[in-house]
């Protein structure tokens, strides 16, 4: 089929002519210097006009990646569904605590989660490795030998009801410890088979699964378990899946710490697992945390939160895992099935406005692969939850997540970067990421602009000199208040969201220190038409 492109090309040319006009203004400011023997800048992008740090522009003719429509997703830990031991918020004390199951039937929780849909909901975590699925209701809440917790059919049906209510699809994992192994240590598929069969029969929308959580650490596997055993067990899993739920996507290896270990050197590396399964995964998955939390021994404090070193750590892991993916699973989508401010439940500042910079910047840096997805850990547990677990109060990252969902479509565009800019055009504390505006007509582009400087404001301008701006700021870096265009964001008692309106802007847009602006430019980009 041949697309009609004449109008789109006209819009693109208009976009470029407007960009050129801004360049002319800059030229007036530097023209005399150039005529008197200044440095030759031919072949480089045009500098920004005086008073503007960056002109927002894209290569509007092409989409460089098309993300999964559920790119921004989240985890509800298995231990939240069943009840059990998990990280408690710092204000409640150190370490872990036994918690009751989360109320997935809560109207408030569902309304807040709807603001993030469509999304994948990953129900997994370390607890899942030792959880017994009580398909026949005979366990009486007591885990059999070799298991640490019990998942009832009512609880799993509740996961399905929640997912269907919030436009979610479920990703999970299976038990892997001694409770599901014979005397020789061979994995038995009875538990996984029962969970998938129940999901099929009761409309629990399970669409993908990892074999088990973080196999590289051997948490929830017999002592001495190695990649060869994983490969034999995975072969049995795959045969069962083909019989019970043939459309299920299998993700893996689900590793962490392959690059720069933040806890310990993993006993099984991702490359070992990929060799053992011989191309058996449909989706390449891994976990990434830029650090561990203070409760797990980290001495890095909130002073690092806005630094270039901290924000760019995700790219080190991404580059490594992309090379591994390209070697073993070329062309497969990459899912980061766990990420957040810090491993071990997050630091205190994971719940503060300070973390909004990392949250949006990470989404922007990772948004460069077809079918890619990022799962935030968690929706509503411990300090790194998007929602406070006590009353489901939205934290600053939640509001940033809602705006990303509404304004950043799956089509990713190449940002025109000034000289010296890094990924996303990150330079001098200014990161710029661009995607087609979802549902908009006329080739609309949304720029996510991140000012990570704690002290300096930044000014940007669009090529068309007309935009709608959604500016996120905080009353303080250490607080939990967040404002949209100067108005504090709060949800209604039932979790209903307020109107999230942008403001019209003609001319440059100023970003205060430590702020994020979503800048929607209505002028046409052919790739978004």
* DSSP output for 79-133: HHHH-EEEEPPGGG-SSEEEEPPP-TT-HHHHHHHHTT-SEEEEE-SGGGGGEEE
More reliable by pLDDT, 264 or 62: 62
State the average pLDDT over residues 63-69: 97
Q: pLDDT per residue over 297-306, tens digit each?
A: 999 999 999 9
Q: What is the pLDDT of residues 370-411, one digit of tens each?
A: 999 999 999 999 999 999 999 999 999 999 999 999 999 999
Bridge partners, residue 487, by sequence: 484
pTM over 0.85: yes
pLDDT of residue 35: 31
What's the whole-number average pLDDT of the chain? 88
pLDDT 10s digits, 205-235: 999 999 999 998 877 788 889 999 999 999 9
Structure tokens belonging to residue 273: 């697992």
274: confidence class by pLDDT, cuts 50, 70, 90: very high
| Residue in 272, 273, 435 with CA at minimum distance from that of residue 365 | 435
Q: Cα–chain-centroid distance for residue 11?
A: 32
Q: What is the pLDDT of residue 220?
A: 74
In CATH, what class is 72-407?
alpha beta
Question: CB within 8 A of 465, min separation 6: which ones?
Answer: 18, 22, 506, 507
**Alpha carbon 512 to chain centroid, angstroms:** 25
| Nearest CA-CA partner of 497 in 394, 396, 404, 407 | 394
Mean pLDDT score, 456-470: 91
Per residue in 305-316, pLDDT tens? 999 999 999 999
For residue range 176-206, list pLDDT tens digits in order: 999 999 999 999 999 999 999 999 999 999 9
pLDDT tens per residue, range 446-457? 999 999 999 999
Greater confidence (43 vs 152) lies with: 152
Confidence band for 263, pLDDT divided at 50, 70 and 90: low
At residue 251's C-alpha, the angle toward residues 190 and 413, to 5°, is 155
Q: Which whole number is the average pLDDT over 113-117?
A: 98
Mean pLDDT for 25-32 is 34
Residue 165, φ and ψ in degrees, nearest 5: -75, -25
| Predicted confidence (pLDDT) at residue 514 exceeds the cutoff of 50 | yes
CATH topology of domain 6-64+413-528: Immunoglobulin-like (2.60.40)
- For 319-359, the pLDDT digits (tens) are 999 999 999 999 999 999 999 999 999 999 999 999 999 99
Terminal-to-terminal C-alpha distance of the chain: 16
Look at residue 190 in the predicted model and tell me its pLDDT: 98
> For the chain, percent helix, then strand, then coil, each to nearest 5?
30, 25, 45
Copy the structure tokens of residue 190. 């009875």
Per-residue pLDDT, averaged over 424-448, amounts to: 85
Question: For the chain, which residues make up each domain, given as ranges?
Answer: 6-64+413-528, 72-407
Say if 6-64+413-528 and 72-407 have the same CATH topology: no
Q: In terms of Cα–Cα distance, which of 150, 209, 215, 200 is closest to 179?
A: 150
């Amino acid at each position: 089929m041949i697309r009609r492109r004449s109008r789109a090309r006209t819009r693109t040319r208009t976009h470029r002519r407007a960009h050129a006009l801004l360049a002319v203004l800059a030229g007036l400011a530097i023209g005399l210097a150039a005529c008197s023997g200044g440095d030759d800048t031919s072949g480089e992008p045009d500098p920004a006009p005086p008073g503007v740090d960056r002109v927002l522009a894209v290569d509007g003719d092409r989409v460089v990646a098309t993300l999964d429509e559920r790119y921004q997703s989240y985890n509800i830990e298995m231990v939240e569904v069943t009840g059990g031991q998990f990280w408690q918020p710092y204000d409640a004390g150190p370490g872990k605590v036994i918690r009751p199951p989360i109320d997935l039937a809560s109207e408030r929780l569902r309304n807040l989660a709807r603001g993030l849909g469509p999304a994948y909901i990953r129900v997994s975590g370390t607890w899942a490795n030792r959880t017994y699925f009580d398909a026949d209701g005979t366990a009486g809440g007591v885990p059999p030998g070799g298991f640490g917790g019990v998942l009832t059919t009512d609880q799993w049906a509740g996961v399905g009801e929640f997912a269907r209510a919030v436009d979610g699809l479920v990703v999970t994992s299976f038990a892997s410890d001694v409770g599901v192994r014979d005397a020789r240590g061979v994995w038995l598929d009875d538990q996984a088979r029962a969970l998938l069969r129940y999901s099929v029969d009761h409309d629990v929308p399970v669409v993908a699964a990892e074999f088990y959580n973080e196999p590289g650490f051997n948490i929830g596997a017999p002592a001495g378990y190695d990649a060869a055993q994983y490969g034999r067990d995975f072969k049995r899993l795959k045969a069962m899946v083909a019989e019970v739920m043939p459309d299920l996507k299998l993700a893996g290896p689900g590793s962490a710490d392959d690059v720069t270990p933040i806890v310990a050197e993993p006993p099984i590396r991702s490359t070992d697992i990929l060799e053992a399964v011989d191309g058996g995964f449909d989706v390449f998955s891994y976990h990434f945390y830029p650090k561990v939390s203070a409760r797990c021994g980290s001495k890095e404090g909130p002073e690092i939160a806005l630094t270039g070193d901290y924000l760019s750590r995700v790219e080190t892991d991404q580059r490594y895992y992309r090379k591994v993916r390209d070697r073993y699973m070329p062309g497969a989508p990459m899912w980061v099935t766990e990420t957040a401010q810090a491993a071990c439940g997050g630091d205190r500042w994971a719940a503060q406005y300070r973390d909004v910079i990392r949250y949006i910047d990470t989404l922007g840096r990772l948004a460069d692969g077809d079918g890619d997805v990022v799962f935030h850990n968690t929706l509503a547990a411990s300090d790194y939850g998007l929602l406070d677990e006590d009353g489901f109060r939205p934290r600053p990252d939640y509001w940033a997540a809602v705006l990303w969902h509404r304004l950043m479509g799956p089509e990713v565009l190449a940002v025109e970067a000034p000289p010296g800019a890094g990924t996303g055009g990150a330079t001098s504390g200014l990161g710029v990421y661009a995607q087609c505006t979802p549902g908009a007509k006329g080739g609309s582009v949304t720029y996510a602009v991140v000012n990570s400087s704690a002290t300096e404001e930044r000014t940007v301008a669009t090529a068309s000199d007309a935009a709608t701006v959604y500016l996120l700021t905080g009353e303080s870096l250490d607080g939990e208040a967040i404002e949209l265009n100067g108005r504090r964001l709060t949800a209604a008692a039932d979790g209903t969201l307020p109107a999230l309106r942008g403001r019209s802007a003609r001319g440059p847009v100023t970003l205060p220190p430590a702020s994020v602006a979503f800048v929607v430019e209505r002028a046409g980009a052919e790739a978004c038409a």
